[in-house]
Amino acid sequence: MSSTSIPQARSIGALKRANIRILPVKEELRKNCIAKLRTREKLFDGIIGYDDTVVPAVINAILSRHDIILLGLRGQAKTRLVRMLPSLLDEWTPIVKGSELNDNPFHPISKYATDLIAEYGDDTEIEWIPREQRYGEKLATPDVTIADLIGDIDPIKAAAQRLHYSHEGAIHFGLIPRTNRGIFAINELPDLQPRIQVGLFNIMQEKDIQIRGFNVRIPLDVLIVFTANPEDYTNRGNIITPLKDRIDSQILTHYPGDIEDAIAITAQEAWTDRDVAQPVRIPRYFREIIERIAFEARASEYVDQRSGVSARLTISAMENLVSNAERRAIVSGDDVVLPRVSDLARILPSLTGKIELVYEGEQEGLITVSKALIGKAVRAVFSSLLPNPLQKSRARKAQQDEMRESGKRADPVYGTIVSWFEQGNDVALTDDMPFDAYFAALNAVPGLHHLTTTHMDVDAADDAQLGSAMEFVLEGLHQHSRIAKQEAEGAVSYRDMLGSIFSTMRRDDDDE
């Protein structure tokens, strides 16, 4: 049964006359899932990168009427996916009015509903609840108790109503029974103490609950969904084997498999549409750099891969990148918010809190590792867009040989730029530099303007975009060890590689 507006029936008799059929929750999910599949409707809107892996597995579990566990590292949209499952429930469902357990009017399970129907029959009042009220969720923590999840005897209620402790009326129901005829999710299952996990056995298998040692059994109609990190990651606990055996489908989640999915996720989740007069513009290569940082971190020998590198890293990094560009535009009065390579230093707070090193306190600290990841990301994106400064193709080698014979510089692509730095020139930039001064400093490098417009997809008439791309070229040359870079807080200076080495050696001698 589904309807976009609240049905009119207000009693069990009216339900019967309307010939309304009420299905168990797993059958209801299966029915609505099939209906959406037949109409080619997207089941989980906003879930990116799972179309060929996780989503089919979730659909199969629903069609199989399975309880589910989503197993994966942090930041893999597990909770988000679980919270979208209620969209497969009916828009409205009838319950016995006043019932704590969302009793099915045709098959009541609580003593309250059973007694009410026995007294009033078809005149028993019903009410309609929306699908949102049929979803419950609990974050597993070590202090969660059986009373929280399932329930306990309430001695005050028993005394006030003069009930025996084994009487159902003396029970204070927990979260799961109150989600009867709905979906209940437990996040981070390994954090739940083993003795509490044991208490879920009956719900998973027999589909009923037991309260302490009293002979109270109440059958439940509920889909249980869990999320968890892999057992070999968390040191706080694990999933006991008998409980895993009772979970019908274990579905493995994963990080984006390609850069396009990763860019789409960050574009969807990151807050970049700021409420400022200046338009926010993010060149494509910056989006790639941000995602490459996460890809590099997931392959780094210094980063603990059991912990994972969350998609939240790229979301936060993109927001910080835009914020630094926004701050500069506000202070300097520039009329456009557009990131620069020098802004990448300001995303470190987004990285250091979201990666865990293999060995805490090792020589390679979080800041050093994070900077190295940014550098590798820039290098990878640079290599995908421009000729590799360290790789010589046959055509380039022949061209270089020809230029050597004619007495010209041997590197036809980067030679003019590199030789300018070799002559003792440098480019000093800061992340709060007004655009006119920033563009002028970059434009002073011979050949940089021409190389950037030739090899990168930028509009030569768009100075803001061009200036940022020119700095990207210099950073790429630095990452390929063609020019040097010195860094200070919020400032960088590009200069000759050899001269920088000698300068460093002189400083070391002076320190001694």
Q: How far apart are CA 356 and CA 309, in angstroms?
A: 8
Q: Residue 82's pLDDT is what?
A: 97
Residue pair 311/334 in contact by the 8 Å Cβ criterion? no
Q: Residue 417's pLDDT is what?
A: 94
Backbone dihedral region for residue 148 (phi beyond 0: left; psi -120 to 50: alpha; all else: beta): alpha
Q: In the chain, where are the structural domains located?
A: 12-252, 269-385, 411-511
Q: How far apart are CA 102 and CA 88, in angstroms?
A: 18
Per the model's pLDDT, the better-predicted residue between 236 and 117 turns out to be 117
Q: Residue 393's pLDDT is what?
A: 45
Report the alpha-carbon angle 372-376-382, nearest 5: 145
pLDDT band, residue 409 (cuts 50/70/90) = very low
- Say which CATH architecture domain 12-252 belongs to: 3-Layer(aba) Sandwich (3.40)
Residue pair 224/204 in contact by the 8 Å Cβ criterion? yes
Task: Check whether 256 has a pLDDT greater than 70.
Answer: yes
Q: Residue 390's pLDDT is what?
A: 79
For 170-187, write each residue's pLDDT tens digit. 677 889 999 999 999 999
Mean pLDDT of the region 320-347: 93
Give the phi and the psi of residue 477 in degrees, each rounded to 5: -65, -35
Task: Check whether 113 has a pLDDT greater than 80.
Answer: yes
Task: Check whether 169 has a pLDDT greater than 80.
Answer: no
Determine which helix (DSSP H) or strand (DSSP E) holds 202, and give its type and residue range: helix 201-205
pLDDT band, residue 142 (cuts 50/70/90) = confident
Give the phi and the psi of residue 342 in degrees, each rounded to 5: -65, -20
Q: How far apart are CA 9 and CA 408, in angstroms?
A: 90
pTM, two decimal places: 0.86
Report the alpha-carbon angle 319-324-326, nearest 5: 90
Residue pair 225/86 in contact by the 8 Å Cβ criterion? no
Task: Check whether 422 has a pLDDT greater than 80.
Answer: yes
Determine which helix (DSSP H) or strand (DSSP E) holds 379, and give its type and residue range: helix 366-385
Per the model's pLDDT, the better-predicted residue between 335 and 121 turns out to be 121
Residue with tokens 């990878």: 380
For 439-488, write each residue's pLDDT tens digit. 999 999 999 999 999 999 998 899 999 999 999 999 999 999 999 999 88
Mean pLDDT of the region 233-259: 87
Q: Residue 507's pLDDT is what?
A: 47
Q: Residue 388's pLDDT is what?
A: 87
Task: Check whether 59 has a pLDDT greater than 80.
Answer: yes
Residue with tokens 């597995």: 57
pLDDT band, residue 411 (cuts 50/70/90) = low
Beta carbons within 8 Å of 279's beta carbon, 6+ residues apart: 336, 337
Per the model's pLDDT, the better-predicted residue between 162 and 301 turns out to be 301
- DSSP character string of 467-506: HHHHHHHHHHHHHTTSSEEEEETTEEEEE-HHHHHHHHHH
Q: Residue 286's pLDDT is what?
A: 98
Task: Check whether 232 has a pLDDT greater than 60.
Answer: no
For 344-390, write each residue's pLDDT tens digit. 999 999 999 899 888 766 555 889 999 999 999 999 999 999 998 87
Q: Residue 402's pLDDT is what?
A: 57
- The residue among 437, 403, 401, 421 whose CA lies nearest residue 473 is 421
Rounded to the nearest angstrom, the gap between the alpha carbon of residue 174 and the centroid of all alpha carbons in its chain is 30
Q: Coil, strand, or helix at residue 306? A: coil
Edge-to-edge, what's the strand order for the sheet holding 135-139?
135-139, 182-187, 222-228, 68-71, 249-252
Q: How far apart are CA 22 and CA 421, in angstroms?
A: 78
CA torsion 350-352-357-362 (nearest 10°) is: 160
Average pLDDT, the chain: 87
Q: How many CB atoms lie within 10 A of CB 503?
A: 14
Q: Residue 508's pLDDT is what?
A: 47
Task: Check whether 401 has a pLDDT greater than 60.
Answer: no
Residue with tokens 């659909």: 59
- 419 to each of 36, 371, 388, 438, 470, how far by Cα in Å? 63, 27, 17, 21, 17
pLDDT band, residue 502 (cuts 50/70/90) = very low
pLDDT above 70: percentage of residues in the chain:
85
- 8 to each of 93, 127, 295, how far by Cα in Å? 12, 10, 54
Fold observed for domain 269-385: Helicase, Ruva Protein; domain 3 (1.10.8)
Q: How far apart are CA 90 and CA 24, in angstroms?
A: 11
Lowest mean pLDDT among 66-80, 114-128, 387-401, 497-511: 497-511
Q: Coil, strand, or helix at residue 272? A: coil
- 187 to each of 246, 332, 506, how far by Cα in Å? 17, 46, 57
Q: Residue 314's pLDDT is what?
A: 97
